[in-house]
Amino acid sequence: MAPAAVAAAAFPFRLFSAEARRNTRSVRGKRSAARPLKSSPPPPPRPPSSSVGGGGAAATTFTRLPLRDAPESAEVTLDRFPTAPANPEAPAPAPTRGSSVQRLDEDDEEEFEVGVGATSFAQIPLRDSPDGVELTIGQFEARAAGRKSPGGRGFARQTVEHLDGDGDEELVVNSRDVFEVKRGRKALALVPEVLDDDDDVVVFDPDYGVDSDDDEEDMFPIKQSQKAGATPRTELGELEYDDEEDDDDEFVVFHPDYDDEEAFEDDDYDGEEETEEEGEEAKGKGVPAVMRCFDTAKIFAKAGDGGNGVVAFRREKYVPYGGPSGGDGGRGGDVYVQVDGEMNSLLPFRKSVHFRAGRGAHGMGQQQAGAKGEDVVVKVPPGTVVRTSDGGVELLELMKPGQRALLLPGGRGGRGNAAFKSGTNKVPRIAEKGEKGPEMWLDLELKLVADVGIVGAPNAGKSTLLSVISAAKPSIANYPFTTLLPNLGVVSLDFDATMVVADLPGLLEGAHRGYGLGYEFLRHSERCSVLVHVVDGSAQQPDYEFEAVRLELELFSPSLVDKPYVVVYNKMDLPEASERWNTFREKLQAQGIEPYCISAINRQGTQDVIHAAYKLLQKERQRIRETEDWSGPENLNHVSDAIKKERRAPMNEFEIFHDKGTKTWTVVGAGIERFVQMTNWQYSDSLKRFQHALEACGVNRTLIRRGVKEGDTVIIGEMEMVWNDEPKSNRPSNTMNTKDDAVRWPEFG
Ligand SMILES: Nc1nc2c(ncn2[C@@H]2O[C@H](COP(=O)(O)OP(=O)(O)OP(=O)(O)O)[C@@H](O)[C@H]2O)c(=O)[nH]1
Ligand SMILES: [Mg+2]
């Protein structure tokens, strides 16, 4: 049943745009003709309408634009007015006119409905713009034919990119209709270029993040230029419907409330991507290229939506009244994050940004449940920290190869009508939609992971030591703070064993409070299993220096001083160092420490240090293994646990916000919003159940108590309704207690 018809039921709410809200992002049609463009920028600011475009493509072309926004039988005429071409010399395109109605398949996931009028077709001119400028290319009026029309005004906009100098190849990066209806809201339509099937014509789908596919990687950045604009024409004309063109177009119509900004929210391609070369230079000053490129990444993850449950009844020979047999939808696929020991950078995430698990299959007749959606595994290198992009909350720290976390659990499948059978309702005409899978943007950061950290005062010779024991080439100089960022080196031992050694910036007194450069890197040294403490033998008081650095470590974190460590007395080639060696050694021996002496620069004594450190490392690894066995595996699924918990939120926990100006009441509550999201309005029993739910969980009562008035708007999740004061007798009050209609609550989990 169409939502409009459902609305006629005698309940306090009249539905007017539930489906529109729900479908704000759905897309129908041929994807090949109009592929989402990943690297599209948000639309540029509108050019001043007075400036006439120059240098645009010679040809103005047309596309047919199906606008479907109507109840089934309504007819809408959409009049459109072609623009003045960007090139004033070129002839203006002929006005065209069209009117048609199209009914989309209700079972199709990608169908959409919009609450403004009827389906109609129109032609609008495309591609008459200079590069990268958003143009208003036509204006039109929309009205419903043969009935009192809501009336409205609209215009079409597009942004074009010319791919090469001679203008042969071009790309419509953003083309949409904007129309306003009387309520003062806006509706947007994204339209594809359909004249040819070339892949170079791409429509920017604001939901592209969710629909990404691998091809998108080939997209190139788009440079924005604000060179010119075009003049919109407002002259009226009639559009002609062109039968020749295929009408299997992809298009999106947004709900009136849909916000322009929001449409591009998922697009994290900020200026950096567009002007990669210059952008990075400017941004990354002073940061080594390797650090700024590969140590952070931003990705989008979405768990699969649950499949829909269906309504079906058994129809068999000799079984005259077969019961309900609609199966449940399958669960959506999950998103996992897993540590891959082979990876050592976040570089791959520059290319693939979107990770979407598959949606669950819909239920079928004969009580067959739909299949579960496919899981997706995001592979990250060891040492990856996962945070929410929004707010920077740390979610996971994934250090060891093989670690795996369930990050986003797939949406539950909707129940089919077989699940709604009860003693009082033997022919339930109701089924749920699948639950939406959660989605989020995530920031990944790769932390330094080294087995051994070289610590010590500035200028002690830490980098020199690393340079002689590994192939690393850190900068070495005779002044403090030569090392600004940690250097990593892989040390190979004789017996085919390796360890990763980090040379850290020098530690000063006060480092634990942020003095010097050491603070950031003390955090890194927390991840090392073993420390090598280098002491400058040529210092005035080497033992005092040693104590000071130990104290800094302790003040920063007691766990650091508890780490096994090796003390290395350096610069033994210098006379002042060798003179003080014995005193130093005795002092440390008194504390139970056996120091090593080396001349890093001459590579003397360094092998002993390596072996000593490696021995400690092996012991430490063994210890970690044992304690891990004892403490059991870490629970890495707390993010999905939290999401699952929220899914169980009771429906009667909600808050109501009232906006007096717009007479809007917004009901906010995870439980009730989930209920709304899973309600499938195409089934006749759904509205009844929904109304019962509102009664039972106290939404109606609370609204009445707070003074809701006839005609006020009530919004719950994706559902928007108008409050209707009904005569008492029609109120569905106490329906919970009536016999004929037991309310079945959604099962959470
Ligand atoms: N004579 C002598 N000089 C050394 C030795 N090891 C390092 N040096 C010198 O000490 C100075 C500092 O060396 P680095 O390796 O840069 O010291 P660092 O500890 O990394 O210093 P920061 O990075 O500034 O904390 C350089 O001039 C080195 O040549 C050594 O064994 N003998
Ligand atoms: Mg150094």
Collect all residues with Cβ–Cβ distance below 8 Å to 561 and sequence separation of at least 6.
Answer: 550, 553, 554
Task: Compute the distance from residue 496 Cα to the ligand 1 centre, in Å.
Answer: 29
Instruction: Tell which atom from ligand 1 comes closest to the C-alpha of 503.
Output: 20
Task: Judge if 441 and 323 occupy the same domain.
Answer: yes
CA 537 to chain centre: 53
- Is pLDDT at 40 greater than 80 in this prediction? no
- Is pLDDT at 745 greater than 80 in this prediction? no
Task: Single out the residue in 573, 594, 627 at which a domain terminates.
Answer: 627
> What CA–CA distance (Å, rounded) separates 502 from 489?
6
Can you list the pairs that 342-348 forms with residues at least 24 positions away whose Cβ atoms lie under 8 Å?
343/379, 343/380, 343/381, 343/382, 344/381, 345/294, 345/295, 345/381, 345/446, 346/294, 346/295, 346/296, 346/297, 346/380, 346/381, 346/384, 346/444, 346/445, 346/446, 347/293, 347/294
**Residue 472 within any structural domain of the chain:** yes
Task: Judge if 428 and 516 occupy the same domain.
Answer: no
- Is pLDDT at 16 greater than 90 in this prediction? no
Domain ranges, residue 439? 296-446
pLDDT of amino acid 612: 93
What is the percentage of the chain residues whose pLDDT exceeds 70? 52
Task: Please report which confidence band the pLDDT of residue 520 belongs to, taking 50, 70 and 90 as the band edges.
Answer: low
pLDDT of amino acid 625: 72
Ligand 1 pocket test target in 455, 459, 596 with most atoms within 8 Å of CB: 459
Whole-prediction pTM:
0.48
Ligand 1 pocket test target in 455, 462, 464, 481 with most atoms within 8 Å of CB: 464
**Which whole-number Å values give the CA distances from 156 to 65, 191, 319, in the listed order?**
10, 9, 57
Nearest CA to ligand 1 atom 27: 478
Task: Judge if 402 and 314 occupy the same domain.
Answer: yes
Query: For residues 482 and 439, which has the higher predicted lDDT (pLDDT)?
Result: 439
Q: Which helix (H) or strand (E) holds 623?
A: helix 606-631
Helix (H, G, I), strand (E, B) or coil at 625: helix
- Is pLDDT at 613 greater than 50 in this prediction? yes
Task: Compute the distance from residue 601 Cα to the ligand 2 centre, in Å.
Answer: 13
Task: Please report which confidence band the pLDDT of residue 645 belongs to, taking 50, 70 and 90 as the band edges.
Answer: confident
Query: For residues 123 and 596, which has the higher predicted lDDT (pLDDT)?
Result: 596
Task: Judge if 328 and 439 occupy the same domain.
Answer: yes
Task: Compute the distance from residue 383 Cα to the ligand 2 centre, in Å.
Answer: 23
In terms of C-beta density within 10 A (0-12 exposed, 13-18 middle, 19 or more buried), how is residue 527 classed? middle
**Residue 304 within any structural domain of the chain:** yes
Ligand 1 pocket test target in 463, 465, 501, 568 with most atoms within 8 Å of CB: 463
Nearest CA to ligand 1 atom 7: 461
Task: Judge if 433 and 457 occupy the same domain.
Answer: no
Query: For residues 187 and 544, which has the higher predicted lDDT (pLDDT)?
Result: 544
**Residue 312 within any structural domain of the chain:** yes
Instruction: Tell which atom from ligand 1 comes closest to the C-alpha of 481.
Output: 24
Task: Judge if 454 and 581 occupy the same domain.
Answer: yes
Question: Do strands 713-716 and 719-723 pair parallel, antiparallel, or not at all (unpaired)?
Answer: antiparallel
Token pair, residue 84, equals 């003045």
Task: Compute the distance from residue 542 Cα to the ligand 2 centre, in Å.
Answer: 18
Minimum-distance ligand to the CA of 480?
Answer: 1
Nearest CA to ligand 1 atom 21: 459
Task: Please report which confidence band the pLDDT of residue 172 belongs to, taking 50, 70 and 90 as the band edges.
Answer: very low
Task: Compute the distance from residue 445 Cα to the ligand 2 centre, in Å.
Answer: 24
In this prediction, residues 163-177 reach a mean pLDDT of 46
CA atoms within 13 A on the CB side of 571: 20
Cβ atoms of 701 and 731 within 8 Å: the answer is: no
∠ CA 671-673-677, rounded to 5°: 120
Query: For residues 423 and 107, which has the higher predicted lDDT (pLDDT)?
Result: 423
Query: What pLDDT, in 10s, does the model give residues 600-611?
Result: 999 999 999 999
Query: For residues 446 and 630, which has the higher predicted lDDT (pLDDT)?
Result: 446
Minimum-distance ligand to the CA of 549?
Answer: 1
Cβ atoms of 330 and 372 within 8 Å: the answer is: yes
In this prediction, residues 450-454 reach a mean pLDDT of 86
**Residue 470 within any structural domain of the chain:** yes
Task: Compute the distance from residue 601 Cα to the ligand 1 centre, in Å.
Answer: 8
**Which residue is it, tokens 């020991």?**
341
**Residue 546 within any structural domain of the chain:** yes
Task: Judge if 375 and 434 occupy the same domain.
Answer: yes
Task: Judge if 442 and 539 occupy the same domain.
Answer: no
Name the phi and psi angles at 372, rounded to 5. Answer: -70, 145
> What CA–CA distance (Å, rounded) separates 275 from 282?
11
pLDDT of amino acid 506: 75
Task: Compute the distance from residue 521 Cα to the ligand 2 centre, in Å.
Answer: 13
Query: What pLDDT, in 10s, does the model give residues 190-238?
Result: 333 333 333 222 222 223 222 333 333 222 222 222 222 222 222 222 2
- Is pLDDT at 358 greater than 90 in this prediction? yes
Nearest CA to ligand 1 atom 11: 478
Instruction: Tell which atom from ligand 1 comes closest to the C-alpha of 598.
Output: 31
Query: For residues 169 and 50, which has the higher predicted lDDT (pLDDT)?
Result: 169
Task: Compute the distance from residue 553 Cα to the ligand 1 centre, in Å.
Answer: 21
- Is pLDDT at 158 greater than 80 in this prediction? no
Task: Compute the distance from residue 120 Cα to the ligand 1 centre, in Å.
Answer: 77
Task: Judge if 473 and 429 occupy the same domain.
Answer: no
Task: Compute the distance from residue 474 Cα to the ligand 2 centre, in Å.
Answer: 7
Nearest CA to ligand 1 atom 16: 476
> What CA–CA distance (Å, rounded) separates 423 from 407?
40
Query: For residues 70 and 203, which has the higher predicted lDDT (pLDDT)?
Result: 70
> What CA–CA distance (Å, rounded) separates 279 from 274?
8
Query: What pLDDT, in 10s, does the model give residues 678-734?
Result: 888 888 788 888 888 888 888 888 888 888 888 888 888 888 888 877 644 344 433
748: nearest Cα among 677, 616, 640, 646: 646
Minimum-distance ligand to the CA of 573?
Answer: 1
> What CA–CA distance (Å, rounded) separates 624 from 152?
69
Minimum-distance ligand to the CA of 603?
Answer: 1
In this prediction, residues 62-69 reach a mean pLDDT of 36
- Is pLDDT at 254 greater than 50 in this prediction? no
Task: Compute the distance from residue 478 Cα to the ligand 1 centre, in Å.
Answer: 6
Task: Single out the residue in 446, 470, 500 at which a domain terminates.
Answer: 446
Query: What pLDDT, in 10s, does the model give residues 552-563?
Result: 888 877 778 888
**Which residue is it, tokens 């623009």?**
83
Instruction: Tell which atom from ligand 1 comes closest to the C-alpha of 457.
Output: 25
**Residue 127 within any structural domain of the chain:** no
We report the CATH number of the domain holding residue 719 as: 3.30.300.350
In this prediction, residues 675-680 reach a mean pLDDT of 88
> What CA–CA distance (Å, rounded) separates 67 from 181?
14
Task: Compute the distance from residue 482 Cα to the ligand 1 centre, in Å.
Answer: 9
Q: Where does ligand 1 bind, in terms of residues with CB under 6 Å?
A: 456, 458-464, 476-478, 480-483, 505-506, 570-571, 573-574, 599-601
Task: Judge if 352 and 408 occupy the same domain.
Answer: yes
Q: What is the largest CA-CA distance in the chain?
A: 107
Task: Compute the distance from residue 572 Cα to the ligand 1 centre, in Å.
Answer: 12
Nearest CA to ligand 1 atom 2: 571
> What CA–CA distance (Å, rounded) separates 637 from 97?
57
**Residue 673 within any structural domain of the chain:** yes
Nearest CA to ligand 1 atom 14: 461
Question: Do strands 186-190 and 170-181 pair parallel, antiparallel, or not at all (unpaired)?
Answer: antiparallel
Query: What pLDDT, in 10s, does the model give residues 521-547?
Result: 666 666 788 999 999 999 989 999 899
Cβ atoms of 207 and 27 within 8 Å: the answer is: yes
Q: What is the mean pLDDT of the chain?
A: 63
Length of the chain: 749
Task: Judge if 575 and 478 occupy the same domain.
Answer: yes
Task: Single out the residue in 627, 661, 678 at which a domain terminates.
Answer: 627
Query: What pLDDT, in 10s, does the model give residues 400-440?
Result: 888 899 999 999 999 888 888 877 777 788 888 999 999 99
**Residue 679 within any structural domain of the chain:** yes
- Range name among 43-52, 231-240, 504-513, 687-696 with the lowest pLDDT average: 231-240
pLDDT of amino acid 602: 93
What is the number of structural domains in the chain?
A: 3
Query: For residues 621 and 601, which has the higher predicted lDDT (pLDDT)?
Result: 601
> What CA–CA distance (Å, rounded) separates 690 from 651?
12
pLDDT of amino acid 708: 85
Nearest CA to ligand 1 atom 3: 571
In this prediction, residues 644-669 reach a mean pLDDT of 86
Task: Please report which confidence band the pLDDT of residue 121 belongs to, taking 50, 70 and 90 as the band edges.
Answer: very low
Instruction: Tell which atom from ligand 1 comes closest to the C-alpha of 480.
Output: 24
**Which residue is it, tokens 């108008």?**
722
Instruction: Tell which atom from ligand 1 comes closest to the C-alpha of 476.
Output: 16
Instruction: Tell which atom from ligand 1 comes closest to the C-alpha of 475.
Output: 16
> Hey, what amino acid is at 294?
F
pLDDT of amino acid 213: 34
We report the CATH number of the domain holding residue 307 as: 2.70.210.12
- Is pLDDT at 480 greater than 80 in this prediction? no
Beta partners for residue 656, in sequence order? 667
pLDDT of amino acid 638: 85
Q: Which residues surround ligand 2, an ion (CB under 5 A)?
A: 462-463, 482-483
Query: For residues 564 and 320, which has the higher predicted lDDT (pLDDT)?
Result: 564
Task: Compute the distance from residue 490 Cα to the ligand 1 centre, in Å.
Answer: 20
State the CB neighbour count (10 A cutoff) for residue 25.
17
CA torsion through residues 260, 263, 268, 272, sign: negative
Residue 350 falls in which region: left (phi positive, over 0), alpha (psi -120 to 50) or beta: alpha
443: nearest Cα among 300, 605, 634: 300
Task: Judge if 620 and 654 occupy the same domain.
Answer: no
